[in-house]
Structure 1
Amino acid sequence: MKSFLFHLGLLVLMALVLAIWMALPWAGTLALVALLALWMAATRSGRQAGAVTAVGLGTLRGRLGSSSVIVIGIAGVVGVLVALLAMGEGFRATLQSGGRDDTAIVLRGGSVAETQSVLLHDDIVAIAQAPGVARDASGKPLVSGELVVDASVHEKAGGDANAQLRGVDDTAWTLRPDLKLIAGRRFKPGLHELVVGQGAHRQFAGLDVGDVVRLGREDWRVVGVFASGDAYDSELWADRQTVAAIYRRGDSAESVLVKLATPDAYTGFKTALAGDPRLKVEVATTREFFARQSESLARVIRAVGIVVGTIMGLGAVFGALNCMFAAVAGRAREIATLRALGFRGGPVVASVMLETMALALLGGLIGAAFVWLLFDGYRASTLQGFTDVMFRFAVTPALMWTGLKWALAIGFIGGLFPAVRAARLSVTAALREL
């Protein structure tokens, strides 16, 4: 019973330490490292722990195989975890970067995405006349009715895919000041002309300037390529009225993009639309809208990363436990000799933990560095609805720090029980072991 309660208490302590550790910011971690260094330098127990740790690390060359199991296992966990999280972060950043506080998007009431919305001609006119809408030098409202349809295209790598064809008004360019033409020219209203995002141009075949591509049973000529650095890079753009005529959408739009006179005008604009009896619409700033669009898939990717990382982490923990128990057993007589010379259990526990954590840190650094070198900025695509969205992996310092925290957490679990066993080792029994 006493042994059961001891191990139960150890499990509770481990869970508490892990919860605190995973919530600890980097500044708190630096403070923790400083306290550990101070303890090892200023106290007798700390100096003993440092001495035993140095001896343990000095024997790693003779235990290279078992030590490599810990390092490689943890490097794999960190690599997979950070890569998946970087995918989610890159996708989220791609969608959100298209949002601004001085532009608003208007959808039909109850719609959560453009493809679920329909706005008629009278709706577009009423939105354009609402207070808070910016106007150009001639007094024309800066609004763009936009229509999104799926277009079947061919991948350069082979196979079919869906791209997003967006029909826009002339003012769409003004509403997106970060969007720049990098080749060719803009399309002309009324003609079957396309400009394509650089991501779509890179991934899909037949989208070079001057090419003719068949979309919606009509031939379209590619006249330009644009770069925006966000989800629009994955799209094909054309005149809204032309797209609506070919895809039989009448004079409708799915969304209306609005340039606000000032960011502070958003509240008045939204209130005016909510109070207009002719309209039943949803209004959000484009920053809010794209944040909502990206969050659901990013959340799924993060959840998958945590689940996969946990499963792989369990394997790494068992590997670390096995290796460290074997290391403690192999050093039993050495540890017993130290205990007989007056070394207490605390320094022995600390030394085994420090050794395991050092191996875990090395594995974490290798895994994080590998992912950063291989995947940071790597271009990929995923489905958003039924269309391909191109994005880049974003291996940020925050994600690498998350990976290192996981590595050290695995090292803590893998070293705790072998460390306690080493501290509780009977001196007389250990000295008799071969």
Structure 2
Amino acid sequence: MKFLKNLGLVLLLVAVLAAWVMLPWQGALVLAVLLAAWMFLFRSGAQTRSVAAVGISTLTQRLGSSAVIVVGIAGVVGVLVALLAMAEGYAQTLRNSGSLDTAIVMRGASANEVSSSLSREDLLQIEQAPGVAHNAKGEPIVSAETVVAANLPVKGSKTGDEGSAQVRGISEAAFAVRPNVKIIEGRTFQPGLREIVVGKGAVRQFEGLKVGASLKLGNQPWTIVGIFASGDAMESELWADANVVNDTYRRGSGRNSATVKLENAAAIKAFGEALEANPQLKVKASTTLEFFAKQSEKMTQILRIIGITVGAIMAVGAVFGALNTMFAAVASRAREIATLRAIGFRGLPVVVAVMLETTLLALIGGLIGGLIAWLVFNGFEASTMAAGSVGKLSFNLAVSPGLLWEGIKWALAIGFVGGLFPAVRAASVPVTTALREL
């Protein structure tokens, strides 16, 4: 019988946790309202309030053991939210790099710019496709671009380590298809010269990137003439004239990709279909928003898996800490609980009351952990290799409201697991047995 009871508790636990994982904050709010209504409108709910009030009022007397739960859960939530903020910040940076009214065109089988190649003839036909926006001079707004890698000294490295930076050869239209890119120091490069502008993110990552400095790319000296900001993945790159980049790296007249300004967001359908229907082209077009969102999927998934794995390992320790604390608390109140049951209190109010006590401690721990993660890590600068890129991507960790809610859900789940078994034990110990316990 005891085995079946424990099996039932485990199955209940699994079912509740599975449902809890999928629950939005609105659903949790509804559950809280329903619980409050039950506690104030029904007799068993009133009994729960009485038992819970006594238990919560004694928390200050059990400050040390209660702190074990709070600190343990705060640690879990803080680490979990910080790690997930990496994934959120990485994905957000790449999503900000695209829009619905710009398209990127690459070789049909290419998954990224690095593996793509477009000939001069391809680029001419892309410019003539329907749906391409034109400037005041009637010229198609298309930026044919080359992507290469350059090894630069990493900032702050005491051993002279080098990191990979992405150099993008662009045309004059690059600033038209990316209007968010602004020169914040110095000026833009002059076409035909070995001049380069660097992104604000690249300046944070690599040593010596400042206006007026010289650096060597492709065994040729280049002069940094400006620094730009864009608020997206482009900030991690170095930009120069595409023709000069191609000459330096012996790339001929071809390009890796073409970024196109569309007449409007709806033009992508006609534009993409025209390119695919052209027998002389073997290319594929997608909006830049779709392209960068897809580029972020794999790395975001990896970062989330790491965060959830580390959080789960820490959560196991927090659960055992909660179990030990709540079993001890229930044991110290055995006579009190038995007396309440002897005078007519049912088992359900006792179970819910103990669960509420644990949930309160878990909620406090979750809020503390989430607050610490937000204060310390929100906006924290980090960098990693970007998927499909040849250089590092600089991004800021983003502790969003969604991540904070996810951390709170983990905290409450730990509290539920840590309080369920002690609560059931408190309600199931025979009254006569409990009254004899010290």
> With structure 2 as the length reference, what TM-score do the two structures score?
0.97
Q: Deviations over 1:340-397 (max 9, x none)?
A: 2221111110110000000000000000000000011111111114421100011011
- Matched residue, 1:270: 272
**Contact persistence 2:194–2:244 (CA under 8 A):** yes
Superposition deviation, residue 59 in structure 1? 1.7
**Alpha-carbon offset, residue 314 of structure 1:** 1.2
Structure 1 match to 2:77:
78
Determine if the alignment matches structure 1 residue 212 to structure 2 residue 214.
Answer: yes
> Which residue of the partner structure matches residue 261 of structure 1?
263
Instruction: Report the equivalent of 1:180.
Output: 182
2:392 aligns with one of 388, 401, 412 = 388
Match of 2:120 in 1: 121
For residue 408 of structure 1, what is the aligned residue in structure 2?
Answer: 412
CA distance in 1, matches of 2:29, 2:268: 43
Equivalent residue runs for 1:21-170 within 5 Å: 21-158=20-157, 159-170=161-172
Mapped to 1, the partners of 2:296 and 2:404 lie a distance apart of 21
In structure 2, how many angstroms separate the alpha carbons of the residues matched to 1:50 and 1:101? Answer: 54
Deviations 1:135-172 (CA, angstroms, capped at 9, x unpaired):
11222111111011111111221221111100001111
Tell me whether 1:285 sits opposite 2:287 in the alignment.
Answer: yes
2:322–2:419: 8 Å Cα contact kept in structure 1? Answer: yes
Equivalence map 1:242-391=2 (5 Å): 242-384=244-386, 385-391=389-395
For the residue of structure 2 that corresponds to 1:115, the secondary structure is coil
Task: Write the distance in 1 (CA, Å) between the matches of 2:256 and 2:273.
Answer: 21
How far off is 1:44 after superposition? 1.6
Alpha-carbon distance in structure 2 between the residues aligned to 1:246 and 1:335: 82
CA distance in 1, matches of 2:264, 2:37: 54
Quote the residue 2:18 is aligned against: 19
- Tell me which residue corresponds to 2:429: 425
* CA distance, structure 1, for counterparts of residue 402 and residue 213 of structure 2: 43
Per-residue deviation at 1:202? 2.3
Per-residue Cα deviation, 1:97-127 (whole angstroms, up to 9, x for no partner): 0101111100111101000111111111111
Aligned equivalent of 2:234: 232
Query: Cα RMSD (Å) of the superposition?
Result: 1.0
Query: In structure 2, the residue corresponding to 1:24 is in which secondary structure?
Result: coil
Q: Secondary structure at the match of 1:303?
A: helix
Q: How many Å separate the matches in 2 of 1:343 and 1:266?
A: 68
Residue 426 of structure 1: CA displacement? 1.3
- 1:53 & 1:264 partners in 2: Cα distance? 59
| CA deviation vs aligned residue, 1:284-312 (integer Å, no higher than 9, x gap) | 11010000001110011111111111111
- Write the letter of the residue equivalent to 1:396: S
CA contact (8 A) 2:114 2:390 kept: no
Paired residue secondary structure (1:116): coil
SS at match of 2:55: helix
Aligned with 1:114: secondary structure?
A: coil
Alpha-carbon distance in structure 2 between the residues aligned to 1:387 and 1:165:
8
Q: Write the distance in 1 (CA, Å) between the matches of 2:305 and 2:166.
A: 27
How many angstroms apart in 2 are the aligned matches of 1:412 and 1:390? 39
Partner of 2:4: 5
**Matches of 1:155 and 1:229, distance apart in 2:** 21
| CA distance in structure 2 between the partners assigned to 1:386 and 1:274 by the alignment | 28
Give the structure 2 partner of residue 171 of structure 1. Answer: 173
In 2, the alpha carbon distance for the partners of 1:236 and 1:431 equals 76
Q: Kindly provide the CA deviation profile for residues 394-413 of structure 1, in whole angstroms up to 9, marking residues without a partner as x.
A: 10111100100110011001
SS at match of 1:223: strand
Distance 1:77 1:28, change over 3 A: same
**Do the aligned partners of 2:148 and 2:390 also contact (CA within 8 Å) in 1?**
no
Whichever residue aligns with residue 390 of structure 1, its letter is S
How many residues matched? 433
Q: Where do 5+ consecutive residues of structure 1 fail to align?
A: none
Moved more, 286-295 or 13-22: 13-22
Mean CA deviation greater in 78-87 or 154-163: 154-163
Of all paired residues, the percent bearing the same amino acid is: 58
Q: Which region of structure 1 is more displaced relative to structure 2, 328-337 or 367-376?
A: 328-337
Amino acid at match of 2:342: A
Could you say what secondary structure the match of 2:392 adopts? Answer: strand
- Residues in 2 aligned to 1:412 and 1:240: alpha-carbon distance in whole angstroms: 59
Q: Quote the Cα distance in structure 2 between the aligned partners of 1:230 and 1:274.
A: 29
CA distance in 1, matches of 2:24, 2:92: 22
What is the deviation of 1:331?
Answer: 1.1
Which letter maps to 1:349? Answer: V
- The separation in 2 between residues aligned to 1:343 and 1:253, in whole angstroms, is 78
**2:324, 2:420 → 1: CA distance?**
12
Distance, in Å, in 2 between the alignment partners of 1:241 and 1:62 is 75
- Measure the CA separation in 1 of the matches of 2:138 and 2:37: 69
